[in-house]
A and B are shown apart, each in its own frame.
Chain A
Amino acid sequence: MSASRESLAGGREQRVLEIIETARAKPARFRDERITLAHGAGGRATQTLIEGLLLPAFGAPGGTLAALGDAGAVRAGDAQLAMSTDSFVVKPLRFPGGSIGELAVNGTVNDLAVSGARALAMTVSLILEEGLDAGVLRSEVAAIAAAAQAANVEIVSGDTKVVERGAADGMYICTTAIGSVDARARLSSGAIAPGDRVLVSGPIAAHGMAIMLARNLFELDAAIESDTCSLWPAVDALLDAAGSDLHCMRDATRGGVASVLNELARAAGVAVTVRESDVPVDPSVAAAAELLGIEPMHVANEGRLVAFLAPGAAEHALSVLQGVAGCEQAALIGEVGEDPPGMVLVETGFGGRRVMDQLVGDPLPRIC
């Protein structure tokens, strides 16, 4: 705790804040009696489920799962591999800018990419609802094939199941991929250090807003397209430009940039300060979010990464990244500090400073 904070805060308030931070730093306990949609939203309820139930059951102490990265490290002889899996339940199946099939490939490819690994091979499982239109299935199979080809990943195995009408909603897809960790990559949340700069690879919140509008809940019309794409080209450029000065990356999916930053601030025991006015948001996305009262930094992305870079390498890495198609609007949005540890702060465009927390639950389920 810095002297400045201590002297400026009222003593009693400060003590309450410290008690709260101590409580928050403790491992989450899963105490709920039933699963609610909040557990699937990528915010704090999801974190409770993972850290309170799954990790204690599956994670070997000090093992690869405990790092809670987007992909797990696997060693095979001398080869450094990474492996990741993801399920896709998005509704509607098709939306402006993409569809469930494209998302299913890119989502898993991206989990590997931000772990410094290029996807080599992928498995695809399809869970289909009785009565699904074969034309819909055909177009999603074509979307999967096209996205796999674009990402240069081979589909090597798969599975299909059909469930009774009503037991699924059209189709669900699960993909698993394995990739080789790039020799240039030295990525870990532990490498994040005070002074690091925070980068996003492009305008945020487009995917989540595109899905919201595609559901026609708001009678709002705006030309917003999902940002779904493979992040490997962006990662490749960043690794090339920064090498070991690229400290950590995350794919800012459910829960948005805010969730990713909170997870990493907590994992690395650092503070992250974001300058709101430097965060790129497409004007139509910003306007829709404003109308709906939604904070863009809480909205899901499917083709945007957040990267932490050593201060000396950040500007160069940014300019290299801006040369990659789709990343022209990449930006440095903030810095890593020491205090207060585990917290994300925002310098608002209006001049104040506030905390930016994770959401407890997303009001909008089935975004990916």
Chain B
Amino acid sequence: MRYVDEFRNAELGRAVATEILAAVDPTRHHKLMEICGGHTHAIYKYALDDLLPANVELVHGPGCPVCVIPLGRVDDAIALARTDGVIFTCFGDMLRVPGSDQTLLDAKAQGADVRMVYSPLDALRIARENPDREVVFFAIGFETTAPSTALTLKRAKAEGVTNFSCFCNHVTIEPPLRALLESPDMSLDGFVGPGHVCTVIGTRAFEFIPAEYRRPVVISGFEPLDILQSILMLVRQLHDGRCEVENQYTRVVPRDGNPRALEVMAEVFEPRPQFEWRGLGSIPRSGLGLSDAYRELDAEARFDVPGIRVEDPRACQCGEVLKGAIKPWECKVFGTACTPEHAIGTCMVSPEGACAAYYSSGRLARQTEVV
């Protein structure tokens, strides 16, 4: 595949790995967080840990859209799915996320009309094809997916599709990062920044990290060579004592992001005063709700949604995993009570979740020599 294979070239990968080894200070331990779940997935898929010196440790961050959805919101989704006359549409990953009592897949098996879609536009199409049914779309994700939801809602409004609504769970990346950077046990040395999010919000949106928290950031692409190169750039910043936002993913990411996407998001969404995150608690202005102009398409306004905050399961340490405070295998229930077949935590469900990625691909000791 042209334009993909070039970024998976093993020879170049080894060369970058050698450069990392040369650039890293052997007396220091570097804890680098990849913010985005897409990076976590790629790191396990390509076993990039194997190519890094042992004193460069990758910590998995909060940027997995499925992982951050709290129990109460899953319960709300299931309640919507069970509402008479509703066709409930969502991405495949969400089907297996546990709520308090069950998953959407269980609700489907009990008769709820739950349908997997690949884009919000599919959900809108289903609404057009079923004018006598109410079609609800379960919107999740960071700034990467929010524009497509926004455009879909814009189109629904323009076309006057009245039987379509959105259960909005979009979130933004800055608030949880700030929460993380301000937590007392914060021990991260630098960040691999989320390339896809930056195509929308630009690299500028991450400048607060070096400016306010003195940590370097490198915005990275998603191919293995991208990620290795970003790690090299971070290690070099740390070595030089520099602290800035660098852009490894220049082939896609501009500094100012995508103004048109930002414009449509601003039109359709507005920040919620508070939004609950799995394991991280309630974070002010971290979630997106629908703006007044789009209120009529808000499933939470149209239907009776329980909206009850539910504590995370006691045994579950997803919050610690999302903050990078513990490794997946350090969670008390990892791999025994919590497995991909019977997940307790969200991080064990999505392929971008740190626990699922480690369980499915990483159950192996690192092969690199200890430096």
Contacts and interface: CB of A to CB of B under 8 A. Distances in A.
Interface stretch (B188-196, B260-268, B362-370): B362-370
Interface stretch (B6-14, B131-139, B144-152): B6-14
Contacts of A9: 365-366
Interface in A229-263: none
A160 interface: no
Contact of B334 (A16, A44, A346): A16
A5 B366 CA distance: 8
Interface stretch (A93-101, A143-151, A161-169, A348-356): A348-356
Contact of B50 (A23, A217, A353): A353
B118 A217 contact: yes
Interface string B106-149: 10111000001010001000000000000000000000000000
Interface residues of A, number: 46
B291 to A, nearest CB: 29
A355 B4 contact: no
A350 B44 contact: no
A8 interface: yes
B321 to A, nearest CB: 14
A9 B368 CA distance: 10
Contact of B365 (A5, A33, A37, A48): A5
Contact of A48 (B4, B335, B341): B341
Given A13-B329, A350-B8, A357 B365 contact: no
A340 B363 CA distance: 10
Nearest to B329: A16
A350 B364 contact: no
A44 B45 CA distance: 20
A351 B363 contact: no
A223 B331 CA distance: 46
Interface in B1-33: 1, 4, 8, 10, 13-14
Contact of A352 (B46, B341, B365): B46
A284 B357 CA distance: 27
A321 interface: no
B10 A8 contact: no
A320 to B, nearest CB: 31
Contacts of A293: 351
B96 interface: yes
A17 B329 contact: yes
B183 interface: no
B341 A44 contact: yes
Contact of A14 (B47, B92, B341, B365): B365
Given A36-B106, A352-B50, A360-B96, A45 B341 contact: yes
A354 B8 contact: no
B365 A348 contact: no
Contact of A290 (B4, B335, B365): B4
B49 interface: yes
A5 B364 CA distance: 8
B363 A20 contact: yes
A35 interface: yes
Contacts of B96: 38, 360-361
B162 interface: no
A285 to B, nearest CB: 11
Contact of B1 (A14, A34, A45, A286): A286
Contacts of A283: 1
A116 B13 CA distance: 43
Nearest to A22: B336
Nearest to B7: A350
Given A218-B118, A352-B51, A363-B116, A8 B360 contact: no
Given A351-B51, A356-B361, A16 B340 contact: no
A357 B362 CA distance: 10
Interface in B276-312: none
A8 B46 contact: no
26 contacts: A8-B370, A10-B365, A13-B329, A13-B365, A16-B329, A17-B365, A19-B335, A20-B334, A20-B335, A20-B359, A36-B105, A36-B106, A286-B1, A293-B351, A345-B364, A348-B46, A350-B48, A350-B51, A350-B224, A351-B10, A351-B13, A352-B47, A353-B47, A354-B45, A360-B341, A363-B116
Interface of B: 1, 4, 8, 10, 13-14, 44-51, 92, 96, 105-106, 108-110, 116, 118, 122, 224-225, 327, 329-330, 334-336, 340-342, 351, 359-367, 370
Which 10 pairs show the lowest CB-CB distances between chains A and B? Answer: A352-B47, A9-B365, A20-B335, A352-B50, A354-B47, A363-B92, A357-B360, A354-B361, A34-B109, A350-B46
Given A44-B341, A349-B8, A350-B48, 18 more contacts: A14-B365, A17-B329, A23-B335, A31-B342, A34-B109, A35-B109, A218-B118, A293-B351, A340-B364, A343-B363, A348-B47, A351-B14, A352-B47, A352-B49, A353-B364, A354-B44, A354-B361, A357-B361
